[in-house]
Structure 1
Amino acid sequence: MVQTVRIEAAARERAGKGAARATRREGLVPAVIYGAKQEATLVSLDPRDVMKELQKGGWQSHLYEVALKGGETVRTVMRDVQFHPVTDRPLHVDFQRLAPGVRIRVRVPVHFLNEDTCPGIKEGGVLNVVRREIEVLANPDQVPDAFEIDLGEATIGDSLRWSAVKSNFGTRAVIERDFVVATVAPPTVIEEVEAPAPAAAAPPPAKGKGGKAAAPAAPAKKK
């Protein structure tokens, strides 16, 4: 199951753009915790903690315990991060508070097994990944680190669908059909087209006496 990450935060009192700018001037990242039919909680984060999580990848499927200094610890998922358009530094973070017994919507990465021994790939086929992540509804305590699809028997032309996932860990896909996750596509064949042979050049006219071209023969007169 996915691990829970603890992240330290400090409460902030004022909302609005001016208060958020003041928080950034202090070298912190403003954030909000919302959901579970409770009032929003305004907090500020150390930008190094935020960047550490973003650089890991898969932050949208991680669980976070936001620990308020001198206060409570809130179980959340990180829903959105706003970035500076030039520096790419985080400007604001949105956390969704987890409610007991309520499923959450998360994106789970897909891992492919036995790619090296896949018959279709060994024959020259190419693994075409349609979805590198699958969005599902999951129990917060049972969010998987990844879904796995076995390529051990996949041949050229096969489609690997949601039903091919080895275990869905009790999750339910947001898309309500057996959608395609990947295919084993046939190799691309580039046909070489031979250029047509150049047309033969017409023979030069025969030369008469003195090196001049001979005059064409006069048509025969009818008798």
Structure 2
Amino acid sequence: MQIVFKATKRVEQGTGASRRLRRAGQIPGIIYGADTDAQAITLDHNELYHLLKKEAFHASILSVDVEGAKQAVLLRDTQWHPFRQQVLHLDFQRVDANQKIHLKVPLHFINGDTNPAVKLGGCMISHTITELDVQCLPANLPEYVEVDLKDLEAGQSMHVSQLTLPEGVELAQHGEGDPVVATALTVKGAATDEAAEGAAA
């Protein structure tokens, strides 16, 4: 289900105008890209503050309704107040259905609790990365990539190359190598208990 939110066109610009908007419970923002002129907009702070708490808002194609005209966009930048729970500015990029997009999507780890190394071997699974850089056409953008930990053994690591990406989605990797996604670490206490049991036997 696509997330839809409203915005209005913003005429007044500059620091003073932005400050007045924020005092009135509004957020200045901008929509750019897709070979179209950038458009200054105003958004409702309360609505966007709650949307920003949703994981999907950061990794999905969004629909912004600017005075009745809907545009498909991606959230590209969020500026927060240094110490208040206040959003200062939002940047959105227009999406072209025929152009590949590049975005970080979250990783969802499953079967960590039922993994034999955790249940029987006293291991703890460490999540080394929690999001993945991907590129794809907008229609193929996944909300998340699933990481199945059921077969991860004690002392082993799972790498990015072992993940199953949805159809039409490619890894947009920076640099070389095969980054570690998760590792089954042996907890010191568990290792000591096993050694003690072995000695007793």
Question: What TM bracket, shorter-length normalisation?
Answer: 0.7 to 0.9
For each residue in 1:122-163, what CA deviation from the matched residue of structure 2 results, as whole angstroms up to 9, or x when unmatched?
201110100111121122111112211222221112111123
The CA deviation at 1:58 is 4.3
Q: How many residues align?
A: 189
Give the secondary structure class of the aligned counterpart of 1:55: coil
**Which residue does the alignment assign to 1:93?**
90
**Which residue does the alignment assign to 2:51?**
53
The CA deviation at 1:88 is 2.0
**Which residue does the alignment assign to 2:143?**
145
Distance 2:99 2:134 in 1: 13
Gaps of 5+ in 2: 193-201
Distance 1:84 1:151 in 2: 38
The code of the aligned residue for 2:186 comes to P
Q: Is 1:150–1:166's contact at 8 Å kept on the other side of the alignment? A: no
Alignment of 1:1-223 (within 5 A): 3-70=1-68, 72-122=69-119, 123-175=121-173, 177-189=177-189
Q: Structure 1 stretch 176-185 or stretch 30-39: which is displaced more?
A: 176-185
**Which residue does the alignment assign to 2:197?**
none
Structure number with bigger Rg: 1
Give the secondary structure class of the aligned counterpart of 1:52: helix
Distance 1:35 1:15 in 2: 19
**Aligned-residue CA RMSD in angstroms?**
2.1
The CA deviation at 1:69 is 1.2
Q: Is 1:4–1:64's contact at 8 Å kept on the other side of the alignment? A: yes
Distance 1:191 1:182 in 2: 20
The code of the aligned residue for 1:154 comes to L
Cα pair distance change 1:116/1:26, threshold 3 Å? closer
The CA deviation at 1:191 is 9.9
Give the secondary structure class of the aligned counterpart of 1:88: coil
The code of the aligned residue for 1:97 comes to R
Cα pair distance change 1:118/1:23, threshold 3 Å? same
Q: Structure 1 stretch 81-90 or stretch 54-63: which is displaced more?
A: 54-63
Gaps of 5+ in 1: 193-223
After TM superposition, where is structure 1 displaced by more than 6 Å over at least 4 residues in a row? none
Cα pair distance change 1:144/1:69, threshold 3 Å? same
> TM-score when scaled to structure 2?
0.85
- The alignment-based identity, stated in percent, is 31
